Amino acid sequence: MRSPNPWRSRRTRTLAAAAALAAAAPLLAACGSDGPRSGGGGGEALEVWVYQDGSTTIQEEFVEKFNETSDIDVNLTQIAGDSYQERARTAMGTPNAPDIFFNWGGGSISDFVAEDMLVDLTDIVAEEPELRDGFLPTIMDAGAVDGRYYGVPMRGVQPVILFYNKTLFADAGLEPPSTWEAFTTAVETFQEQDVTPVALGGADIWPNMMWLEYLLDREGGSEVFDRIRNGDASAWGDPAMLAAAETVTQLLDDGAFGNDFRSVAYTNDGAPTFFAQGEAAMHLMGSWEFANQLTNQPEFAESDLGWTTFPAVEGGAGDPSAVVGNPTNYWSVNSQVEGERLDAAVEFLKLHASEEYAQALIDNGDIPATTNAEELIGSAPNPEYAQFQWDMISGASSFTLSWDQALPASQATPMLDSIDKLFGGQLTPQEFVDSMQDL
Amino acid sequence: MKQRTSTKPRAGRPGIAWAVPGVLFFVFFAAAPMAIVAYLSFTDWDGLSNPSWTGLDNWSKLWEDDSMRNAVWLSLLLTAFTWLTQTPVTLLLGVWAAGRQRNRAVLSAIFFLPLLASSVALALLWRTIFDPNFGLAPDIADLFNLDSADLLGTPRGAFAAILFVTGWQFVPFHMLIYQGGVRQIPRSFYDAAAMDGAGTIRQFFHITLPQLRNTIVTSTVLMVVGALTYFDTVLILTRGGPGDSTEIVPFLMYDTGFQAFDLGYASAIACALVAVATAASLLLVRLTGFTRMRSTREGL
């Protein structure tokens, strides 16, 4: 149902989007402001949107560096956390859309791809040796949509890691758990000592999802979620999914997460602080947790913070080396960018394959998704942690993208609702599996 | 100037032209968006492609959808509880604040503070207060004899938290309305009643309350419409959770529209919400006889 006149249809959509915004929530209406900008005109600056967090300083630095030599400048806009996805989504297809923007690859851009809103970078990557040989192929593939590249890695690789408190484990005479049996023993031991076994920011829901992601991967291997990701909803009914959900229920019954984790948030530092104060023994979180602890609780991070891979589950079909998390973040290019502006955009992307950029990420404590990262690891501020992550990533049999990023928005939202209910005991494992199949 | 007005006296109201800016503003920012939302409610639209016409699909889904049913029920509950808890509190506070004593003026000013802060900031503040490890949640749990400090993690706790935080925030506003209402009541009524031997309580029920009738209607309409459209507190404090136990209609609309990007269905929810809120306020006004504009000062 595409209108033959693209200009007209875009106008209607802009109007409709602004209208929907204005009517739905007056708070959001301010986003509908019009920037005087025409698409595809020569020489105009490229608008770049990035998700604002502690690492954004690197993007600022490299945008500045890029602008020194380029005829076409780059304007960097930082968008605060939670609202990023909504802002990007509502802007796409309007004259206010970014030219290059940060995303999570996969499901986070699949709707844009379906509407031809992104530049297909597959051929460009193949032509440009810097891009072709610069990035780890597994990470390029993890963000691909239908086997084609629409993004170039621009942040560190973020595997989900099991963090633990070294002192608490030593005091209890335990080793960090490498098997599920050892893990459940640890849960029991800490329970007896009145230490919450696992810190969990259940109010945000996605930390709960990380448990389910790993449990499913260990029970059934990465192909179960691959099927779901490729549109096969019946894969939610896979016995491995039921087993993973049942394990979650078992953990809840055992009090592994304490009894008030659903009021605890990760995003306001509730769960990390609880963990850092020695009230909880373990914390399953993305690799950014290390930097977070280093900033907020430096003493804890330097002396007590330990890390390990998610335990192997006995009898599960999954490979214990498999990793879940955010392979990385990507830059994608709006298909409105053409001609010399596209050339400038490609130059900008190439900058992210450079050793300089990789070094900046390493200095920030990140592991770049570039092939040159391995030699640079030694110069990381925490070489031990960096080496652990590098080994984990390079030795991983698969890297599963976070479910809420891998699935399109229309499925991710109800999925998070169901996960919340599973962790709250409002859904039994069987009901959870059934509700997901009905999506 | 004087001569001109005297040669051509301008009686009556200003011309239609005077209304143009206001009307234009209303058309662009209220009527037109509402019309577009009404149109979108008959389409399937993900916000990216062109809307495709689906007729009454979204509207029939409204009746069958369990999450909508849940949301309507929660919104009604929230509205009812909001009115039941806020009206007595604000009425009494307003009457109390209407006194001219210096300490009352000072305390009223303090009570007024929550209304000055943005509701997002307040919700963030309360979310931290409700944190079971670092907030006041364990003390609150002790106070009410609850077994766990998981206030936002239980359906009832989360609902009560929303009710409390929004109440805390809007009580000052309604208090102010009542304070103004009470100050309008002529002193002579109370003097006469006092002469006839009526005490404070009798004066309250026989003079203050009847005199405040129109004020109560105003405050009630604002409360009902406000409670039906609460959004920001829910977004920050509970995100509709745990599960869907605080997913009231405006939040469901947001979740459907801006998280799941089913903007067609979200528009249908929005239309239904506009219709219900308008109907509720019209009905209230009509039932209470507000439109008849009967004076509360007959015989004065």
Instruction: Write the pLDDT tens digit of every residue in B113-146.
Output: 888 888 888 888 888 888 888 888 888 888 888 7
| Kind plus residue range of the DSSP H or E element containing A264 | none
DSSP code string of A29-50: GGGGPPP---TT-TTPPEEEEE
Judgement on whether residues A30 and A87 belong to the same structural domain of the protein: yes
Distance in Å, alpha carbon of A240 to nearest chain B alpha carbon: 23
DSSP code string of A132-153: HHHB-HHHHHHT-BTTB---EE
Question: Do A332 and A150 touch, CB atoms closer than 8 A?
Answer: yes
Q: State how many domains chain A has.
A: 2
**Comparing A94 with B24, which gets the higher pLDDT?**
B24
Judgement on whether residues A19 and A129 belong to the same structural domain of the protein: yes
Across A212-237, average pLDDT:
91
pLDDT of residue A30: 36
Distance in Å, alpha carbon of A190 to nearest chain B alpha carbon: 18
Give me the residue from B37, B153, B254 closest to A202, CB to CB: B153
Distance in Å, alpha carbon of B99 to nearest chain A alpha carbon: 37
Give me the residue from A17, A264, A424 closest to B132, CB to CB: A264
Range of the domain at A280: 159-324+408-437
Q: How confident is the model at residue A439 (pLDDT cuts 50, 70, 90)?
A: confident
Judgement on whether residues A240 and A177 belong to the same structural domain of the protein: yes
Would you say residue B254 has pLDDT above 80?
yes
Judgement on whether residues A136 and A249 belong to the same structural domain of the protein: no
Give dist(CA B176, CA B178) in Å, integer. Answer: 5
Give dist(CA B182, CA B127) in Å, integer. Answer: 35
Distance in Å, alpha carbon of A257 to nearest chain B alpha carbon: 12
Across B47-62, average pLDDT:
87
In-domain check, residue A1: no
Give the other-Cβ count within 10 Å of A331's Cβ.
23
Tally A–B CB contacts below 8 A. 148
- Nearest residue of chain B to residue A266 (CA atoms): B131
Residue in B45, B48, B54 to test binding to A, most A beta-carbons within 10 Å: B48
At a CB cut-off of 8 Å and minimum separation 6, what does A240 contact?
Answer: A216, A219, A220, A221, A224, A316, A317
**Comparing A214 with B2, which gets the higher pLDDT?**
A214
Indicate the SS3 state at residue B108. helix
Would you say residue A396 has pLDDT above 90?
no
Across B52-80, average pLDDT:
90
Chain B environment of A7 (Cβ under 8 Å)? none
Helices within B240-262 (DSSP H only): 249-254
Judgement on whether residues A335 and A390 belong to the same structural domain of the protein: yes
Burial of B47 (0-12, 13-18, 19+ CB in 10 A): buried
**Comparing A22 with A301, which gets the higher pLDDT?**
A301
Q: How confident is the model at residue A243 (pLDDT cuts 50, 70, 90)?
A: very high
Interface contact A417-B231, CB threshold 8 A: no
Interface contact A264-B243, CB threshold 8 A: no
Predicted model pTM: 0.79
Judgement on whether residues A13 and A141 belong to the same structural domain of the protein: yes
At a CB cut-off of 8 Å and minimum separation 6, what does A288 contact?
Answer: A158
Helices within B155-294 (DSSP H only): 155-183, 187-195, 200-203, 209-211, 213-228, 232-237, 249-254, 263-287
Give the other-Cβ count within 10 Å of A55's Cβ.
20
A82 interface with B at CB cutoff 8 Å: no
Would you say residue B37 has pLDDT above 80?
yes
In-domain check, residue B119: yes
pLDDT of residue B98: 87
Residue A49: φ, ψ to 5°:
-110, 135
Range of the domain at B110: 73-262
Residue A257: φ, ψ to 5°:
-100, 10
Chain A environment of B47 (Cβ under 8 Å)? 17, 20, 89-90, 93
A111 interface with B at CB cutoff 8 Å: yes
Interface contact A413-B259, CB threshold 8 A: yes
Q: How confident is the model at residue B2 (pLDDT cuts 50, 70, 90)?
A: very low
Judgement on whether residues A31 and A120 belong to the same structural domain of the protein: yes
Indicate the SS3 state at residue A257. coil
Residue appearing with tokens 């306001």: A268
Distance in Å, alpha carbon of B141 to nearest chain A alpha carbon: 12
Give the other-Cβ count within 10 Å of A253's Cβ.
9
In-domain check, residue B25: no
Residue in B261, B267, B271, B274 to test binding to A, most A beta-carbons within 10 Å: B261
Which residues partner with A253 through β-bridges? Answer: none
Question: Do B40 and B264 touch, CB atoms closer than 8 A?
Answer: yes
Number of residues in chain B: 300
Judgement on whether residues A419 and A395 belong to the same structural domain of the protein: no
Across A383-387, average pLDDT:
90
- Nearest residue of chain A to residue B53 (CA atoms): A1
Across A413-421, average pLDDT:
91
Judgement on whether residues A32 and A144 belong to the same structural domain of the protein: yes
Chain A environment of B263 (Cβ under 8 Å)? 20
Judgement on whether residues A195 and A244 belong to the same structural domain of the protein: yes
In-domain check, residue A196: yes
Q: How confident is the model at residue B294 (pLDDT cuts 50, 70, 90)?
A: low
Instruction: Write the pLDDT tens digit of every residue in A148-194.
Output: 899 999 988 989 999 999 999 999 999 999 999 999 999 999 999 99
pLDDT of residue A26: 37
Q: How confident is the model at residue A200 (pLDDT cuts 50, 70, 90)?
A: very high
Interface contact B36-A260, CB threshold 8 A: no
Greatest CA separation found in chain B? Answer: 82
* C-alpha separations of A196 from A160, A193, A255, A274, A297 in Å: 20, 9, 8, 9, 19
Q: State how many domains chain B has.
A: 1
Judgement on whether residues A82 and A41 belong to the same structural domain of the protein: yes
Give me the residue from A19, A409, A414 closest to B36, CB to CB: A19
Judgement on whether residues A301 and A345 belong to the same structural domain of the protein: no
CATH number for the domain that contains residue A60:
3.40.190.10
DSSP code string of A160-186: EEEEEEHHHHHHTT-PPPSBHHHHHHH
Torsion sign across C-alpha atoms B291, B292, B293, B294: negative
Instruction: Write the pLDDT tens digit of every residue in A246-293.
Output: 999 999 999 999 988 988 888 888 899 999 999 999 999 999 898 888
| Kind plus residue range of the DSSP H or E element containing A283 | strand A280-286
Give me the residue from A89, A114, A262 closest to B152, CB to CB: A262
CATH number for the domain that contains residue B182:
1.10.3720.10
